[in-house]
Amino acid sequence: MNPLNNEVIRVVSRPEAIPTAANFRKDTQAVPAVEAGQILVRNEWLSVEPAMRGWLADANNYSSVGIGEVMRSLCVGTVVASQAEGYTEGDRLMGWFGWQQYAVVQPSAVVQKITATDIPPSLYLGVLGINGVTAATALHTIGAPKRGETVVVSTAAGGVGSCVGQLAKALGCRTVGLTSTPEKVRACYEQFGYDHVINYKTDDIAGALQDACPDGVDVYFDNTAGLISDAVMPQLAIGARVIVCGTASISKWDPVPMGPRVERFLLTRRARMQGFILFDHMDTYATYVNQLEALIRAGKLTYREHISDGLDSAMHAIEELYRGENLGKRLIRL
Protein backbone atom coordinates (compact mmCIF):
# COMPACT_ATOMS: atom_id res chain seq x y z
CA MET A 1 0.00 0.00 0.00
CA ASN A 2 2.50 2.64 1.12
CA PRO A 3 3.91 5.27 -1.11
CA LEU A 4 3.28 7.43 1.98
CA ASN A 5 6.19 9.55 3.13
CA ASN A 6 6.86 9.68 6.84
CA GLU A 7 8.75 12.44 8.58
CA VAL A 8 10.38 11.20 11.78
CA ILE A 9 12.51 12.76 14.53
CA ARG A 10 15.43 10.55 15.57
CA VAL A 11 17.75 10.79 18.54
CA VAL A 12 21.30 11.38 17.28
CA SER A 13 23.21 12.16 20.49
CA ARG A 14 22.82 12.22 24.27
CA PRO A 15 22.46 15.66 25.86
CA GLU A 16 25.05 16.86 28.35
CA ALA A 17 22.19 18.27 30.40
CA ILE A 18 18.89 19.54 28.92
CA PRO A 19 18.11 18.09 25.44
CA THR A 20 18.27 20.62 22.60
CA ALA A 21 17.47 20.49 18.88
CA ALA A 22 21.08 19.40 18.32
CA ASN A 23 20.28 16.02 19.89
CA PHE A 24 17.69 15.27 17.17
CA ARG A 25 17.54 14.94 13.39
CA LYS A 26 14.53 14.91 11.07
CA ASP A 27 14.49 12.13 8.46
CA THR A 28 12.07 11.40 5.69
CA GLN A 29 11.39 7.77 4.82
CA ALA A 30 8.67 5.57 3.45
CA VAL A 31 6.06 4.29 5.86
CA PRO A 32 6.72 0.54 6.24
CA ALA A 33 4.13 -2.03 5.22
CA VAL A 34 1.53 -2.96 7.83
CA GLU A 35 2.01 -6.63 8.67
CA ALA A 36 -0.23 -9.07 10.47
CA GLY A 37 -0.91 -7.98 14.04
CA GLN A 38 0.08 -4.35 13.33
CA ILE A 39 -1.73 -1.03 13.09
CA LEU A 40 -0.87 2.07 11.06
CA VAL A 41 -1.64 5.25 12.99
CA ARG A 42 -1.59 8.81 11.65
CA ASN A 43 -0.43 11.06 14.50
CA GLU A 44 -2.46 14.19 15.25
CA TRP A 45 -0.95 15.25 18.57
CA LEU A 46 2.51 14.61 20.03
CA SER A 47 3.40 15.09 23.65
CA VAL A 48 6.43 16.84 25.15
CA GLU A 49 7.29 15.72 28.71
CA PRO A 50 9.85 16.75 31.33
CA ALA A 51 10.56 13.00 31.62
CA MET A 52 12.03 13.06 28.12
CA ARG A 53 15.20 14.51 29.61
CA GLY A 54 15.52 11.26 31.55
CA TRP A 55 14.67 9.07 28.57
CA LEU A 56 17.55 10.71 26.69
CA ALA A 57 20.10 10.42 29.51
CA ASP A 58 21.88 7.14 30.03
CA ALA A 59 22.81 7.63 33.69
CA ASN A 60 20.60 6.82 36.70
CA ASN A 61 17.61 6.29 34.54
CA TYR A 62 14.94 3.67 34.26
CA SER A 63 14.57 3.49 30.51
CA SER A 64 16.64 5.24 27.86
CA VAL A 65 15.84 5.79 24.18
CA GLY A 66 18.59 4.36 21.96
CA ILE A 67 20.71 6.49 19.64
CA GLY A 68 19.22 6.35 16.13
CA GLU A 69 15.72 5.48 17.38
CA VAL A 70 12.61 7.57 16.75
CA MET A 71 12.07 9.83 19.80
CA ARG A 72 9.73 8.11 22.22
CA SER A 73 6.50 9.97 22.86
CA LEU A 74 2.89 9.50 23.71
CA CYS A 75 0.66 10.62 20.86
CA VAL A 76 -2.96 10.82 19.88
CA GLY A 77 -3.71 9.58 16.38
CA THR A 78 -6.22 7.82 14.17
CA VAL A 79 -5.98 4.33 12.73
CA VAL A 80 -5.39 4.48 8.96
CA ALA A 81 -5.03 0.75 8.41
CA SER A 82 -5.25 -2.24 10.73
CA GLN A 83 -4.13 -5.86 10.56
CA ALA A 84 -4.71 -6.28 14.30
CA GLU A 85 -7.81 -7.68 15.91
CA GLY A 86 -9.92 -5.11 17.74
CA TYR A 87 -8.66 -2.10 15.79
CA THR A 88 -10.50 -0.55 12.83
CA GLU A 89 -9.77 2.33 10.49
CA GLY A 90 -11.00 5.53 12.11
CA ASP A 91 -10.39 4.43 15.74
CA ARG A 92 -8.78 7.21 17.77
CA LEU A 93 -5.95 5.99 20.00
CA MET A 94 -3.55 7.33 22.60
CA GLY A 95 -0.26 5.47 22.76
CA TRP A 96 3.50 5.24 22.25
CA PHE A 97 3.65 6.26 18.60
CA GLY A 98 6.74 8.51 18.74
CA TRP A 99 7.66 11.85 17.24
CA GLN A 100 6.67 11.06 13.64
CA GLN A 101 3.80 11.54 11.22
CA TYR A 102 2.90 7.87 10.93
CA ALA A 103 3.58 4.91 13.18
CA VAL A 104 3.29 1.20 12.49
CA VAL A 105 2.86 -0.41 15.91
CA GLN A 106 1.72 -3.49 17.78
CA PRO A 107 -1.41 -3.16 19.95
CA SER A 108 0.91 -3.24 23.00
CA ALA A 109 1.92 0.35 22.11
CA VAL A 110 -1.65 1.54 22.64
CA VAL A 111 -2.39 2.99 26.08
CA GLN A 112 -6.06 3.54 25.45
CA LYS A 113 -8.78 3.89 22.85
CA ILE A 114 -10.45 7.28 23.00
CA THR A 115 -14.17 6.76 22.75
CA ALA A 116 -15.49 10.01 24.22
CA THR A 117 -16.66 12.35 21.47
CA ASP A 118 -17.52 15.28 23.76
CA ILE A 119 -13.93 15.84 24.97
CA PRO A 120 -11.08 17.34 22.87
CA PRO A 121 -8.72 14.44 22.03
CA SER A 122 -5.57 16.41 22.96
CA LEU A 123 -6.64 16.21 26.62
CA TYR A 124 -5.68 12.52 26.57
CA LEU A 125 -2.06 13.67 26.39
CA GLY A 126 -2.47 16.10 29.29
CA VAL A 127 -5.06 16.36 32.00
CA LEU A 128 -6.60 13.03 30.91
CA GLY A 129 -3.22 11.52 30.04
CA ILE A 130 -0.09 10.69 31.94
CA ASN A 131 0.03 14.15 33.52
CA GLY A 132 -3.41 13.97 35.05
CA VAL A 133 -3.17 10.28 35.86
CA THR A 134 0.27 10.80 37.44
CA ALA A 135 -1.14 13.63 39.55
CA ALA A 136 -4.15 11.59 40.68
CA THR A 137 -2.33 8.29 41.24
CA ALA A 138 0.68 9.70 43.09
CA LEU A 139 -1.43 12.05 45.20
CA HIS A 140 -3.74 9.20 46.14
CA THR A 141 -1.23 6.38 46.70
CA ILE A 142 1.68 8.27 48.33
CA GLY A 143 0.34 11.66 49.39
CA ALA A 144 -3.02 10.51 50.76
CA PRO A 145 -3.92 14.06 51.81
CA LYS A 146 -6.59 14.53 54.44
CA ARG A 147 -9.08 17.39 54.69
CA GLY A 148 -7.45 20.43 56.27
CA GLU A 149 -3.90 19.39 55.49
CA THR A 150 -1.45 21.63 53.64
CA VAL A 151 -0.31 20.42 50.21
CA VAL A 152 2.66 22.13 48.52
CA VAL A 153 3.23 21.67 44.78
CA SER A 154 6.37 22.56 42.82
CA THR A 155 5.78 23.40 39.12
CA ALA A 156 2.32 24.39 40.29
CA ALA A 157 1.17 25.64 36.89
CA GLY A 158 2.56 22.69 34.92
CA GLY A 159 0.73 19.75 33.45
CA VAL A 160 1.05 17.57 36.55
CA GLY A 161 1.21 20.31 39.17
CA SER A 162 -1.89 22.19 38.08
CA CYS A 163 -3.87 18.96 38.32
CA VAL A 164 -2.41 18.08 41.74
CA GLY A 165 -3.37 21.50 43.09
CA GLN A 166 -6.96 21.17 41.92
CA LEU A 167 -7.37 17.57 43.13
CA ALA A 168 -5.94 18.45 46.56
CA LYS A 169 -8.19 21.49 46.81
CA ALA A 170 -11.19 19.33 45.95
CA LEU A 171 -10.21 17.06 48.86
CA GLY A 172 -10.46 20.03 51.24
CA CYS A 173 -6.73 20.74 51.53
CA ARG A 174 -4.99 24.08 51.77
CA THR A 175 -2.94 24.30 48.54
CA VAL A 176 0.31 26.19 48.08
CA GLY A 177 1.95 26.33 44.66
CA LEU A 178 5.40 27.38 43.48
CA THR A 179 5.84 28.71 39.97
CA SER A 180 8.09 31.04 38.00
CA THR A 181 6.38 34.01 36.30
CA PRO A 182 3.68 36.58 37.16
CA GLU A 183 1.53 35.11 34.39
CA LYS A 184 1.81 31.64 35.93
CA VAL A 185 1.15 33.01 39.42
CA ARG A 186 -2.06 34.51 38.08
CA ALA A 187 -3.08 31.25 36.40
CA CYS A 188 -2.42 29.38 39.66
CA TYR A 189 -4.77 31.64 41.59
CA GLU A 190 -7.43 32.19 38.94
CA GLN A 191 -7.55 28.91 37.06
CA PHE A 192 -6.10 26.29 39.39
CA GLY A 193 -7.53 27.66 42.65
CA TYR A 194 -4.38 27.63 44.80
CA ASP A 195 -4.79 29.24 48.21
CA HIS A 196 -1.30 30.68 48.08
CA VAL A 197 1.20 31.00 45.25
CA ILE A 198 4.93 31.65 45.52
CA ASN A 199 7.08 32.94 42.65
CA TYR A 200 10.27 31.01 43.32
CA LYS A 201 12.30 33.27 41.06
CA THR A 202 11.47 36.51 42.87
CA ASP A 203 10.21 35.56 46.37
CA ASP A 204 12.25 34.44 49.37
CA ILE A 205 11.12 30.82 49.10
CA ALA A 206 11.71 29.76 52.73
CA GLY A 207 10.09 32.88 54.19
CA ALA A 208 7.13 32.72 51.81
CA LEU A 209 6.60 29.03 52.63
CA GLN A 210 6.66 29.79 56.34
CA ASP A 211 3.96 32.43 55.85
CA ALA A 212 1.90 30.16 53.62
CA CYS A 213 2.25 27.02 55.78
CA PRO A 214 2.06 28.10 59.44
CA ASP A 215 1.37 24.50 60.52
CA GLY A 216 4.04 22.99 58.28
CA VAL A 217 3.80 21.02 55.05
CA ASP A 218 1.81 17.77 55.22
CA VAL A 219 2.22 16.73 51.58
CA TYR A 220 4.91 17.96 49.23
CA PHE A 221 4.34 17.01 45.59
CA ASP A 222 7.81 17.49 44.17
CA ASN A 223 8.41 17.85 40.46
CA THR A 224 11.67 19.80 40.73
CA ALA A 225 14.08 18.81 43.53
CA GLY A 226 16.72 21.53 43.93
CA LEU A 227 16.31 24.82 45.77
CA ILE A 228 12.54 24.54 46.12
CA SER A 229 12.82 21.16 47.84
CA ASP A 230 15.66 22.44 50.00
CA ALA A 231 13.31 25.14 51.29
CA VAL A 232 10.39 22.74 51.82
CA MET A 233 12.19 19.94 53.72
CA PRO A 234 12.87 21.96 56.92
CA GLN A 235 9.17 22.91 56.99
CA LEU A 236 7.72 19.40 56.84
CA ALA A 237 5.06 18.66 59.45
CA ILE A 238 5.16 15.55 61.62
CA GLY A 239 4.12 12.59 59.48
CA ALA A 240 4.63 14.45 56.18
CA ARG A 241 4.70 12.69 52.81
CA VAL A 242 7.03 13.82 50.05
CA ILE A 243 6.14 12.55 46.58
CA VAL A 244 9.28 12.51 44.40
CA CYS A 245 7.71 12.72 40.96
CA GLY A 246 10.29 14.65 38.98
CA THR A 247 13.59 16.48 39.30
CA ALA A 248 13.13 19.23 36.72
CA SER A 249 15.42 21.76 38.39
CA ILE A 250 18.48 19.49 38.31
CA SER A 251 19.97 19.38 34.85
CA LYS A 252 22.58 16.67 35.42
CA TRP A 253 22.83 13.69 37.79
CA ASP A 254 26.25 12.38 36.84
CA PRO A 255 28.05 13.17 39.06
CA VAL A 256 25.29 13.35 41.67
CA PRO A 257 24.90 17.00 42.71
CA MET A 258 25.16 17.96 46.37
CA GLY A 259 22.33 19.38 48.45
CA PRO A 260 21.38 19.74 52.10
CA ARG A 261 21.04 16.30 53.71
CA VAL A 262 17.43 15.22 54.27
CA GLU A 263 17.92 12.47 56.86
CA ARG A 264 17.41 14.60 59.96
CA PHE A 265 14.24 16.19 58.60
CA LEU A 266 12.80 12.79 57.72
CA LEU A 267 13.77 11.43 61.15
CA THR A 268 12.57 14.26 63.37
CA ARG A 269 9.29 14.67 61.44
CA ARG A 270 8.82 10.91 60.94
CA ALA A 271 8.31 11.86 57.33
CA ARG A 272 8.23 9.68 54.24
CA MET A 273 9.86 10.52 50.90
CA GLN A 274 8.97 8.21 48.03
CA GLY A 275 9.65 8.00 44.32
CA PHE A 276 6.73 7.65 41.91
CA ILE A 277 6.74 6.41 38.33
CA LEU A 278 3.37 6.01 36.64
CA PHE A 279 4.45 2.97 34.62
CA ASP A 280 4.25 0.93 37.86
CA HIS A 281 0.55 1.82 38.12
CA MET A 282 -0.86 1.11 34.65
CA ASP A 283 -3.37 -1.36 36.11
CA THR A 284 -5.32 1.56 37.61
CA TYR A 285 -4.77 3.96 34.68
CA ALA A 286 -8.26 3.62 33.17
CA THR A 287 -9.94 4.06 36.56
CA TYR A 288 -8.20 7.38 37.12
CA VAL A 289 -8.94 8.55 33.53
CA ASN A 290 -12.62 7.88 34.19
CA GLN A 291 -12.54 9.90 37.41
CA LEU A 292 -10.78 12.79 35.67
CA GLU A 293 -13.18 12.69 32.68
CA ALA A 294 -16.06 13.07 35.12
CA LEU A 295 -14.40 16.16 36.66
CA ILE A 296 -13.75 17.64 33.19
CA ARG A 297 -17.38 17.11 32.16
CA ALA A 298 -18.55 18.67 35.42
CA GLY A 299 -16.34 21.72 34.79
CA LYS A 300 -14.43 21.00 38.02
CA LEU A 301 -10.98 20.50 36.50
CA THR A 302 -9.30 23.29 34.58
CA TYR A 303 -6.38 22.79 32.21
CA ARG A 304 -4.17 24.80 29.91
CA GLU A 305 -2.44 23.71 26.76
CA HIS A 306 0.58 25.21 25.08
CA ILE A 307 0.44 24.16 21.44
CA SER A 308 2.90 24.56 18.60
CA ASP A 309 2.45 23.32 15.05
CA GLY A 310 4.54 20.92 13.03
CA LEU A 311 7.08 18.21 13.73
CA ASP A 312 10.00 20.64 13.56
CA SER A 313 8.75 22.50 16.63
CA ALA A 314 9.15 19.34 18.74
CA MET A 315 12.94 19.46 18.52
CA HIS A 316 13.15 22.68 20.57
CA ALA A 317 10.26 21.91 22.86
CA ILE A 318 12.04 20.05 25.67
CA GLU A 319 14.50 22.88 26.05
CA GLU A 320 11.69 25.44 26.19
CA LEU A 321 9.92 23.32 28.78
CA TYR A 322 12.96 23.37 31.05
CA ARG A 323 13.29 27.12 30.59
CA GLY A 324 9.75 27.35 31.99
CA GLU A 325 8.41 29.02 28.84
CA ASN A 326 5.24 27.00 28.61
CA LEU A 327 2.03 27.56 30.47
CA GLY A 328 0.11 24.33 30.53
CA LYS A 329 0.59 21.00 28.84
CA ARG A 330 3.15 21.25 26.00
CA LEU A 331 1.77 19.72 22.79
CA ILE A 332 2.76 19.47 19.13
CA ARG A 333 -0.11 19.54 16.62
CA LEU A 334 0.50 17.84 13.27
Between 173 and 225, whose beta carbon lies closer to a copy of itself?
Answer: 225
Closest alpha carbon to 251 in 322, 178, 314, 180? 322
Amino acid, res. 174: R
Degrees, nearest 5: CA angle 78-83-84: 80
Residues 167 and 138 sit within 8 Å (Cβ to Cβ): no
* Residue window 47-86: x/- pattern of binding to a copy of itself, with contact defined by CB under 8 A: -------x-----xxx------------------------
Please tell me whether residue 207 binds a copy of itself under the rule CB under 8 A. no
Please provide residue 100's backbone torsions phi and psi, each rounded to the nearest 5 degrees: -160, 165
Please tell me whether residue 308 binds a copy of itself under the rule CB under 8 A. no
Please tell me whether residue 227 binds a copy of itself under the rule CB under 8 A. no
Task: Pick the binder of a copy of itself from 85, 118, 263, 283 (CB under 8 A).
Answer: 263
Which residues partner with 82 through β-bridges? 39
Please tell me whether residue 234 binds a copy of itself under the rule CB under 8 A. yes
Between 78 and 251, whose beta carbon lies closer to a copy of itself?
Answer: 251
* Residue window 266-285: x/- pattern of binding to a copy of itself, with contact defined by CB under 8 A: xxxxxxxxxxxx--x-----
Q: How far is the CB of 123 from a copy of itself (least distance, A)?
A: 26
Please tell me whether residue 222 binds a copy of itself under the rule CB under 8 A. yes
Please tell me whether residue 206 binds a copy of itself under the rule CB under 8 A. no
Please tell me whether residue 246 binds a copy of itself under the rule CB under 8 A. yes
- Judging by beta carbons within 10 Å of its beta carbon (0-12, 13-18, 19+), is residue 203 exposed, middle or buried? middle
Residues 132 and 165 sit within 8 Å (Cβ to Cβ): no
User: What is the secondary structure of 102-136 as a DSSP string?
Assistant: EEEE-GGGEEEE---SSS-GGGGGTTTSHHHHHHH
Please tell me whether residue 134 binds a copy of itself under the rule CB under 8 A. no
Angle formed by the axes of helices 285-297 and 130-138, nearest 10°: 100
Please tell me whether residue 257 binds a copy of itself under the rule CB under 8 A. yes
The residues of the shown chain that bind a copy of itself, judged by CB under 8 A, are 54, 60-62, 222, 225, 229, 234, 244-247, 250, 253, 256-277, 280
